[in-house]
Amino acid sequence: MKKEENLTQGIKKGIAKVILWLFLILFFVLSFIVLAMQSSYVQTRVAKMGSNYLSEELGYEITIDRINIEWFDQIKISQLDIKNKDKAQFISINELLVNYDIKQLITAQNILFDDVTLSGARVMLIKDKGDDYFNIDYLIEAIRELTTSSSSSGSQPKNLLIQHIVLEDVKLGIINNDQDSIPEGFNYNQFILNDLNGNVYDFSSRRDTIQMRVEELSAVDSASGLFLKNIKTQFEISQSKLALTELKLEINESIIQDSIVFTYNGMPNLSYFVDSVNVVADLKNTTLYARDLAYFAPYLNRYNEKVVISTNFKGKVKNFTARNLDLTFGERSSLSGRLEMDGLPEISESFINFNLNNATIAPEDIRQYINDTLAVSKVRTIGTIDFSGNFIGFTNDFVANGVFNTQLGRVESDVNLKINDDATQTEYSGSISTYNFNLGALLENDTLVQKIQMTGDVNGKGLTLESANLKLKANINLLGINGYQYQNIKTNAQYGKEFFNGEITINDPVLKLGMTGSIDLRNNKNIINVLADLDTVNLKTLNITDDDLIIKASGTLDGR
């Protein structure tokens, strides 16, 4: 019995010694490996073996200068280069530092890294002419196929998860050779962003979807001077969507916030952004400067403008609706309502349907958009306009239907305006009502003409007393001429400077007149053909003569 106990004790001691020796051997082996990995020779050999393996498996030429493994939870890769299949280099990284948990990395269903620092990288994303995809898309697909084939049969490829990414002094180029270069402003078809720095959190790549939270990302496009001062957003991109939520994007002085989502039928549609990509945007207190927008629309460079906008935007750039629109610009101007546009980016060819709930336009705020000196004078004379209504049409041919309160008086209109750079050639037609409106000030002859209150239909051309030629069918309740305020005028006639053709009746307390016919005093024609019935009137009362002059007339006047 005692022998058996001694035998058992001996076996236990032997097993303990074996286990101890195994641990010691494992410790020394691991220590040797760790120490060996600090050797430049071993690092170079491991780097060469790793790059050769990846090159063979992925079909891309990959070179690594050195790999440094520090205590199995951190890898530092020095000078990682990847070349296209045509041998053109498109990724070059000076230093890639990766922190990880070895246990999770080996056993988890996902590829998980704690921290990744990318320093001094140069990434060139190139889309060749006639190709639907960028070079990076093919590399990602090759990596996906490799991870799928290395997994067990029927299993899904592993997801890539990175808790934190630091970008330091990165250069990113996007070259789309399928599109022409843009000579002026930001060349968004071919550009290189320098000094790209920032932090990315919770990066994930699942199937065709990449998600991340971007913090304090900045870069500059040296070619144009476009400065991405700061980008903060929850980012998502896939083959059908690009989403920027919780967004704060600072470009030069402009600030865009709060969310923008782009949807499309495949990445190639991004090359035809204006008419192929749907946009849903919720903008809150977004501040845009014309000089910043000019990077994308160079003609805006001529304007010194700041716009603050909040709206719910939906549609394509070419055809969109902006609901709950609040927009301020200049010093005192603002617009609110619902805007629909079809035809951008050519503003002059775009159809506009703008339903305005409330708007204020100050003359000094639109001065820079008006080229004609005469039109500038008219706008200044009209003064600040408060209005609501509808604007339907093009910028130079539209229907204005609404109520306009100006310093000259109130106007209600449903008028089609065909704007010409030459104000004398501007055409107008429709219905109009005025209330205590200072017509004389608008015509710049308030000695001859004063205020008017009327309702009627107008069809004519010219915005000056010299050029105006219009047909007017109206009931004029009040009209000031030569300081006398006429009442109860009805007319259906063609009017112009030194020209009248039609009929007019006046049932004023002082003047009773009925007249039909034509008067043409233009170019010394002096043709008069009228049938008139004038009741007794004192012309002095009408401020036509200085002395009393009482007349009464009835009959036909035909002559020259």
Residue with tokens 């402003």: 185
492 sits in which H/E element: strand 484-496
Strand partners for 417? 398, 428
Spatial distance between the Cα atoms of 211 and 202, rounded to a whole number of angstroms: 8
Q: In 3D, which of 88, 87, 96, 99 has the Cα closest to residue 170?
A: 96
457-492 pLDDT, tens digit per residue, is 999 998 777 788 899 999 999 999 999 999 999 999
Q: Assign 272 a pLDDT band (cuts: 50, 70, 90).
A: confident
Whether 17 has a pLDDT exceeding 60, the answer reads no
The rounded Cα 18 to chain-centroid distance in angstroms is 73
Q: What is the pLDDT of residue 457?
A: 96
- Number of other CB atoms surrounding residue 155 within 10 Å: 11
What residue segments make up the domains of the chain, in order of their start?
A: 444-559
Name the residue with higher pLDDT: 205 or 21. 205
The model's pTM: 0.76
Q: What is the pLDDT of residue 334?
A: 96
Spatial distance between the Cα atoms of 504 and 534, rounded to a whole number of angstroms: 12
Q: What is the pLDDT of residue 324?
A: 96
CB under 8 A, 24+ apart: contacts of 390-395: 390/353, 390/354, 390/355, 390/356, 391/352, 391/353, 391/354, 391/356, 392/352, 392/353, 392/354, 393/351, 393/352, 394/348, 394/349, 394/350, 394/351, 394/352, 395/347, 395/348, 395/350, 395/352, 395/419
- Those residues whose C-beta lies under 8 Å from the C-beta of residue 150, and which sit 6 or more positions away, are none
Name the residue with higher pLDDT: 7 or 415. 415
Highest mean pLDDT among 27-31, 44-48, 106-110, 419-423: 419-423
Region for residue 31 given its phi and psi (left: phi exceeds 0; alpha: psi -120 to 50; beta: otherwise): alpha
The rounded Cα 352 to chain-centroid distance in angstroms is 16
506-549 pLDDT, tens digit per residue, is 999 999 999 999 988 888 878 889 999 999 899 999 998 889 88
Q: What is the pLDDT of residue 8?
A: 54
Mean pLDDT of the region 344-363: 89
Q: In 3D, which of 114, 76, 113, 81 has the Cα closest to residue 95?
A: 76
Whether 195 has a pLDDT exceeding 90, the answer reads yes
Whether 132 has a pLDDT exceeding 80, the answer reads no
Give the up-direction half-sphere exposure of residue 456: CA atoms within 13 A in the CB hemisphere: 18
φ/ψ (deg, to 5) at 490: -120, 135
- The DSSP bridge pattern shows strands 484-496 and 427-438 to be unpaired
Q: Assign 300 a pLDDT band (cuts: 50, 70, 90).
A: confident
pLDDT, averaged across the chain = 85
Asked if 439 and 449 touch (Cβ cutoff 8 Å), the reply is yes
Spatial distance between the Cα atoms of 403 and 388, rounded to a whole number of angstroms: 6
Mean pLDDT of the region 118-142: 84
DSSP 3-state assignment of 144? helix
